[in-house]
Every structure is written in C-alpha cells, then in structure tokens.
C-alpha cells in the first residue's frame, strides 16, 4: 500500500491536479483524494496545501515528493533493464553530427550498425550548428567540445590533432617557415575558436595575417589547397592531401590545440536500448589510438562484432 500511495502522490504533484492524476491512473478523483488524505494521516503530516485552483507542496511534502520520485524512477529503470535484456535494438534513431565527421566516419559506422540490427531506422542531420538534443528531440548529438549544460550526458569520443598545412604553390610564392617564429606575418586561414590575430599555437603568441576565416574545415582545406594561406587543419581532414603531396605539413613540432568530439544525450536514465547499443558500437568502431583519432582507413572501418 505504501508504494501505491507514493505513486498516487507523485502523480498528483506532477499533474498539479487530482483530476488529471486520476485520469492518468485510471481511478476516480474521489479515490485519489481519499488516498492522499489517508497517506497524510498515516504519516502524521500535511503534504499538500489545497485551494480550489491550486495545489502547493508543503516543505515536508516537497522533501517527501523528491524521495518518492526517486523511488519511482528506480523502479521504472529496474523494469526497463529487465525488459531490455530480452530485446534487440529497434526503432528510429535520430542523430546530429558535424558535417565532416558524418561524411568520413558516421555514415560507415551507422550503415554497418543498421546492417547488424535491421530493426533500426535512422534520421541523420549533418550540421555545423550547435544542437540541443532535449529541445530538438535528438537521441544523440555529436558535438565539438563538451557542452556546458550539466543536465546533459557527454561521452567523449576522441581528440583530433591539428596540423599546419599549406600548398606547394603557396610555399613557393611566400616561402616555407622553418621555425615557429618564422610563421609571424604569414597568411592564415582560421577556423572557429581561433584567435583572429594570432596563430593557433599552444604556448605561443605569434601574429598572423588573417586572410580567411570560416566555420567549415573542408572549406578551409580547399582554400589551403588553392594556395590562399596556411591552415591548422584536423588530421583526419588533411591526411589524404598530405599523402598525395597536394599539401605540405609544416613545423611538425609545433603544438596546436586539439579538437574534442563528444556524443551528447539527455540522460543515462531510461536510455533506450537503441541508443546504448549504438554508442557502444560507435566507440568500438572508431579508429582511435590513445584517445586520439587516426586517419580514417580509405577502404572503410574495421568494426568489432556486437
């Protein structure tokens, strides 16, 4: 009886109404009201102040509600955990991700995941904008940098190293810097979060000649390939151009800030099997070493069985 009363009390508080709580519980309003009265009598305290228009928790009622809500969450999570043991991932998986990550990695990983779990369908948006997974109803948002919202769960996927790169044509025209100090004054292609006046180097404060600033790393790479200037590009986006000689890696010992990618989702509580299974699959499938992303394999990813 105590657990039933706790459930009724919790529903009344969350619905702000005896009528709505009774409808949700499939009970008569008078029954719900009587059970709350009996609960207060049994506990010897007043939990709710009632008027014709409002319900307001007393101080004791607020404390009791918080404990009851936690009990209800734990009970529901226990039931879900048992049910999921017998279930395969299924349903619609909604994901947002940065454009380049989606093109280079996510498409292959998700495709393999859907092959292994045919009951999964997916909607994916590749975007440079910041996505709030709660507000937009997204199961998983892949974001650059850790979110500031403490109510969200952020699982770090990897770090991406950056390299200073320029085309042979640029270096023939402007000269090849042999030391970090010689970067000063060179033409710079800058990415978001880079200083508008200085090279993105850790422990250094060298001025640059900003000729281009953009919010897309593929755009920056193409501009560097065309000879516009020197760019600090993520390793995964410039690997092929460096291998072919279309870009030149400058000053390998220079320290650039790394980029971090996180998988962000609303809560670990009541996490759907499709979300948990995909996140685990994604972590196993990424070409990561020491927490840092390697160049994507040109023939595809090697994935581990589920």
Nearest alpha carbon to residue 145 among 236, 257, 220, 283: 257
Nearest alpha carbon to residue 34 among 9, 59, 64: 9
Count the domains in the chain: 3
- What CATH number should be reported for the domain holding residue 106? 3.40.190.10
pLDDT at 270: 53
How confident is the model over 110-122, as pLDDT tens digits? Answer: 999 999 999 999 9
Is residue 255 a part of any domain in this protein? no
Is residue 34 a part of any domain in this protein? yes
Q: To 10 degrees, the CA torsion angle through 85, 91, 97, 100?
A: 100
Is residue 32 a part of any domain in this protein? yes
What is the span of the domain harbouring residue 65? Answer: 2-84
User: Residue 261 in 3-state DSSP?
Assistant: strand
Phi, psi of 33 (to 5 degrees): -60, -45
Whether 28 and 152 share a structural domain: no
Full-model pTM: 0.64
- Give, for 155, the enclosing helix (H) or strand (E): strand 153-160
Whether 70 and 32 share a structural domain: yes
What is the rounded average pLDDT for all residues in the chain?
86
Is residue 183 a part of any domain in this protein? yes
C-alpha span between 128 and 96 (Å, rounded): 10
What's the rounded mean pLDDT across residues 209-225? 94
How confident is the model over 62-112, as pLDDT tens digits? Answer: 888 888 888 888 877 777 766 665 567 888 999 999 999 999 899 999 999
pLDDT at 221: 96
Q: To 10 degrees, the CA torsion angle through 81, 85, 87, 91?
A: 40
Q: What angle do CA 170, 172, 174 make, to 5 degrees?
A: 60
């Amino acid at each position: 009886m105590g657990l039933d009363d706790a459930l009724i009390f919790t529903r009344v508080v969350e619905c702000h109404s005896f009528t709505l709580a009774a409808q949700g519980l499939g009970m008569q309003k008078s029954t719900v009201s009587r059970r709350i009265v009996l609960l207060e009598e049994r506990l010897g305290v007043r939990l709710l102040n009632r008027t014709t228009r409002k319900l307001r928790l007393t101080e004791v009622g607020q404390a009791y509600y918080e404990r009851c809500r936690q009990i209800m969450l734990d009970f529901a999570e226990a039931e879900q955990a048992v049910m999921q043991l017998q279930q395969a991932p299924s349903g619609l998986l909604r994901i947002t991700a940065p454009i380049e990550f989606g093109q280079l990695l996510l498409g292959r990983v998700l495709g393999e995941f859907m092959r292994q779990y045919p009951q999964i369908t997916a909607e994916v948006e590749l975007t440079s904008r910041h996505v709030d997974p709660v507000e937009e109803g997204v199961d998983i948002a892949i974001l650059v940098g850790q979110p500031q919202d403490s109510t969200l769960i952020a699982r770090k996927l990897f770090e991406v190293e950056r390299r200073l790169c320029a085309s042979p044509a640029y270096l023939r025209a402007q000269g090849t810097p042999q030391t970090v100090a010689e970067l000063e004054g060179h033409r710079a292609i800058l990415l978001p979060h880079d200083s508008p006046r200085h090279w993105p180097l850790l422990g250094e404060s060298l001025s640059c000649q900003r000729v281009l600033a953009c919010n897309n790393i593929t755009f920056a790479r193409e501009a560097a390939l065309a000879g516009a200037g020197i760019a600090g590009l993520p390793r995964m986006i410039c690997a092929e151009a460096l291998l072919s000689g279309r870009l030149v890696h400058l000053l390998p010992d220079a320290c650039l800030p790394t980029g971090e990618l996180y998988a962000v989702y609303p809560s670990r509580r009541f996490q759907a099997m499709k979300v948990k299974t995909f996140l685990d699959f994604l972590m196993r499938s990424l070409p990561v070493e020491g927490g840092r992303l390697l160049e994507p394999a040109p023939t595809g990813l090697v994935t581990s069985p589920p």
